[in-house]
Structure 1
């Protein structure tokens, strides 16, 4: 075996580390959870697309990052290393314009320059949001906490790990109401330390039921859904001949008094009882007097039937 071939084998082994199926599952879950986090932040539910996920040396990964960009680095516990979240300028300025009430459409051209204090602050909030989602996704598998370490705006100044350390760079495209931006996660494989064995274990199915499992995950997702509430005053029985005889402007006596309870239904399921009334502005209102189902029962019912 020639020296050149031996060096090539060593290089290949370094740049193509052990497969981590549980890590792949966590990153897939991250792409699903991130839109909900952005909706809470901007009141916009974005579309997320994973553009690439590559294994490469840490120094090579850093060289691919745009200059400048906002890089938030955290220490991961109980890991032994650090994690970097890269907020690219297109995402930073899309978020900034939306927060300031900018109109829909393609952002204007941006020439590389230093970030202002406001831009840096907004970028840090976006990075914090992304890293919180990463931490929560890892938390389903192993206890994980992130501790803020540093912020860089020029990749060439970033020292995340030794230059030749095998790492992975995952880049995501985020569409915010017609505006497109990008965010990346850069994690050296050496950062996982002793928890790497957990990530290398085969992943058999999804989360278990119970606290922190699929029930909780589904409940958090469903909680943001919009439902139609229908107030049912009463039910009456009339003949078809009476219905056919109804005329425009005719008043139909329902036999209901203001004191009688009204049932509120959601998707056809009775959810509450209430009293009819008026608000100060003259609008009709329904005051809840009794809940027919608990929040947990409602979410469980939806998650098991829809």
Structure 2
């Protein structure tokens, strides 16, 4: 008969059992469990399905970045003040959410998409509307925030800006298809504009427009269903960066904007140094020498930058200078020959 275990030996055996269980994981690592290779699940909201791919949204972002730059140039020339337009975001959401994001009273325009069919919404924030109207009427762009409806007269005044914005939008979309945007009607309440059902997905393109010291928002709402015919062209635009391509229309627009720019011209006859005592002693009828020969060439500057050599003279009883040659790195010898063709150019008294 085998020998019985004492109580101390039984306790030693019981204490050794958990020690063996803890030491078990110290064995060589087993093969990785399949859980590391499981595909992660992502949430899907059936109330807000993503109908527009990321590539198409990226193409729309590039497309309307160029649109913002072109419209900023035209708006600066239209208002004769420095204007800037920045593309803030391109998002897809339901049409009801877009309407809820707008103020109760605003300038919202229904625009037809021709010839593809359909409509889009073009909204201009009241702050921007009043700033543009103020500049058009000759005031400053620093207008106070007005919490009131836009009157019919103000709607007529802002129509020129809307037409210009739609024309530039047509030029921007020309790269993906022949599409025109025609103004259908204007409203002041967003709830009166129902271009699609409230639960339909739309693409909302948000711009920030700065006119002088005043800034306002501008929103372009395009239903996703009307973007489907352009899906192929927009994917192709995503593969090639359209911001690096310039069309003939872009070059013509830049030439037109530059041609309308105003630059100041000045012709320096001389620059005489005098003491403060001599300047204080000057009175009406005093004469002082210019220190330069009238037959000598003078410098004509454009915005303070020397650009031309000219000859001083007169034309039809007015002081004038005749352009002789442009100023280049190697300046030509001043010409002393006279001739006709004086261009009238006001000069400072001296």
2:64, 2:152 → 1: CA distance? 31
1:158, 1:225 → 2: CA distance? 39
Q: In structure 1, list runs of 5 or more residues that go unmatched.
A: 234-247, 292-306
Moved over 6 A (4+): 230-233, 262-270, 272-275, 288-291
Deviations 1:198-252 (A, max 9, x none): 1122241345566336x4465455445556768799xxxxxxxxxxxxxx83544
Secondary structure at the aligned position of 1:13 is classed as coil
Secondary structure at the aligned position of 2:116 is classed as coil
Check 1:141–1:221 CA distance in 2 against 1; reply closer, same or farther (3 A cut): farther
Corresponding residue to 1:97 among 134, 138, 141: 134
Residues 1:129 and 2:126 aligned together: no
Q: How large is the RMSD of aligned CA atoms in angstroms?
A: 3.7
Give the alignment's TM-score, normalised by structure 2.
Answer: 0.62
> Which structure would you say has the larger Rg?
2
Aligned-pair CA distance for 1:110: 1.9
Contact 1:84–1:185 (Cα < 8 Å) also in 2: yes
Check 1:32–1:209 CA distance in 2 against 1; reply closer, same or farther (3 A cut): closer
Corresponding residue to 1:66 among 89, 103, 127: 103
1:73, 1:49 → 2: CA distance? 23
Contact 1:57–1:163 (Cα < 8 Å) also in 2: yes
Secondary structure at the aligned position of 1:84 is classed as strand
Residues 1:44 and 2:81 aligned together: yes
Corresponding residue to 1:249 among 282, 286, 289: 289
Residue range with higher mean Cα deviation, 67-76 or 201-210: 201-210
Corresponding residue for residue 75 of structure 1: 112
Contact 1:67–1:155 (Cα < 8 Å) also in 2: yes
Q: Per chain length, whose mean CA-contact separation is higher, i.e. which structure has more relative contact order (CA < 8 Å, sep 6+)?
A: 1
Residues 1:115 and 2:150 aligned together: yes
Residues 1:85 and 2:122 aligned together: yes
Corresponding residue to 1:155 among 187, 190, 195: 190
Corresponding residue for residue 300 of structure 1: none
Corresponding residue for residue 32 of structure 1: 69
Contact 1:274–1:290 (Cα < 8 Å) also in 2: no
2:170, 2:268 → 1: CA distance? 44
Aligned-pair CA distance for 1:94: 1.1
Check 1:279–1:176 CA distance in 2 against 1; reply closer, same or farther (3 A cut): farther
Q: How does 1:130-145 map to 2 (within 5 A)?
A: 130-145=165-180
Check 1:254–1:273 CA distance in 2 against 1; reply closer, same or farther (3 A cut): closer
| Corresponding pairs, count | 263
Corresponding residue for residue 57 of structure 1: 94
1:277, 1:100 → 2: CA distance? 39
Q: In structure 2, list runs of 5 or more residues that go unmatched.
A: 1-40, 270-287, 327-350
Corresponding residue for residue 185 of structure 1: 220
